[in-house]
Structure 1
Amino acid sequence: MAKEKLVKADSIVVAENPVSFYLFNSTRSAWIWLIIRLYVGYTWLTSGWGKVTNDAWTGDESGTALSGYVGGALGRAEAGGDVSGWYASFLEGFVLPNASLFSYMVAYGEVLVGLGLILGLLTGIAAFFGSIMNVSFLLAGTLSSNPILFILATWLVLAWKVAGWYGLDRWALPLLGTPWGRKNK
């Protein structure tokens, strides 16, 4: 009998390779994710805190910094740069008219993602929203550290079960459970 195929309820389950099992399912790999989590979390927290404490992002002049950023992205799109037309249209038609709201969302979103990752609370969700922000910045033509942060955030999303083991997820995840793990009563 072949061990590679396990038949379970009319489906074939393919055995996972040991490396991916170790990285994404074993709490013995949690120390790796702790280092990555703290790095990405610190990066988001410091970036967000700089915005939260800046009037051009969240104060009396909220939206002016974001309007300038979007204006730069629109200029790159007009010049045929790194910003595609559909994203430039989105920035011009939706983000720019709501710059003050988006300014608060970016600033506090960065802080919340940073805190979630540093504390290891809902790590997969925090990393997911961080990766969404990274993609938004990349689409707007800002390279910086965004590609690296996006890759690390994606890995953290994949490792959600163990990435917060040295953090609050160790207790939060068993209490909260998962939607697909709940039994109908």
Structure 2
Amino acid sequence: MFIRFLKENRYVSLLLTFLRLYLGWQWLHAGWGKISDGTFDASGFLNGAVKNMSGEHPSVQPWWGYFLKEVALPYVDLFNVLVPWGEFFVGLGLILGVFTSFSILMGLTMNFAYMFSGTTSTNPQMVLIGIFILIAGVNAGKIGLDHWFIPFFRRMLFKNTEKEFPQNI
């Protein structure tokens, strides 16, 4: 019942737009700060997270720490590009309301990666808001470019088939 309310109520789309803009600004601001500064380096953060995977009560689980140690740190130059630009494009997508579900999914992925790495900050709050936006689906992007993009992509996807396209994608 609540999920249906989030997905279909036109007044909820106003609240979702406000939440989407708030999160979008947070991501855009964080990403642009790293891009414009030009000195972003994730290696310190990653090394700190790897150090926190030991001890009696580790704040970083060993499986995540090994991922950071064996995958992220050796390719830190790639992550130094992916993180700021990822944050920037997630923010841009949420502010414009374009590919909203994908944008918030990528934002949630980054939030969880930061939390897995032992940081809290605003990540739990952003995850909670992001889950509502993700569950709402198309309704979260109705007041945005998704209003035009989603119907266009549905027509393109189902153009040469006899099937009707689903309305709840």
Unaligned runs of 5+ in 1: 1-16, 58-64
Tell me by how many angstroms 1:183 deviates: 6.6
- Equivalent AA in structure 1 for residue 20 of structure 2: R
SS in 2 for 1:56: coil
Equivalent residue pairs, number: 161
Tell me by how many angstroms 1:55 deviates: 2.4
The structure, 1 or 2, with the larger RCO (C-alpha pairs under 8 Å, 6+ apart) is 2
Unaligned runs of 5+ in 2: 163-169
SS in 2 for 1:137: helix
Given that residues 90 and 107 in structure 2 are in contact (C-alpha distance below 8 angstroms), is that contact kept between their aligned partners in structure 1? yes
Structure 1 CA distance for aligned equivalents of residues 71 and 150 of structure 2: 36
Q: Which runs of 4+ in 1 moved over 6 A?
A: 178-183
- More deviation, 123-132/175-184: 175-184
- State yes or no: 1:21 paired with 2:20: no
Structure 2 CA distance for aligned equivalents of residues 129 and 176 of structure 1: 20
- State yes or no: 1:120 paired with 2:97: yes
TM norm structure 1: 0.81
Tell me by how many angstroms 1:157 deviates: 1.0
Deviations 1:34-84 (A, max 9, x none): 111011101001111111112222xxxxxxx20000011011113442100
Rg (Cα) greater in structure: 1
Select 2:38's aligned residue among 35, 46, 55. Answer: 55
Given that residues 44 and 114 in structure 1 are in contact (C-alpha distance below 8 angstroms), is that contact kept between their aligned partners in structure 2? yes
Tell me by how many angstroms 1:30 deviates: 0.9
- State yes or no: 1:140 paired with 2:117: yes
- State yes or no: 1:106 paired with 2:83: yes
Given that residues 46 and 68 in structure 2 are in contact (C-alpha distance below 8 angstroms), is that contact kept between their aligned partners in structure 1? yes
Given that residues 38 and 118 in structure 1 are in contact (C-alpha distance below 8 angstroms), is that contact kept between their aligned partners in structure 2? yes
TM norm structure 2: 0.88
Given that residues 114 and 123 in structure 2 are in contact (C-alpha distance below 8 angstroms), is that contact kept between their aligned partners in structure 1? yes
Given that residues 66 and 99 in structure 1 are in contact (C-alpha distance below 8 angstroms), is that contact kept between their aligned partners in structure 2? yes
- Equivalent AA in structure 1 for residue 76 of structure 2: A
Q: Could you tell me the percent identity over the aligned residues?
A: 32
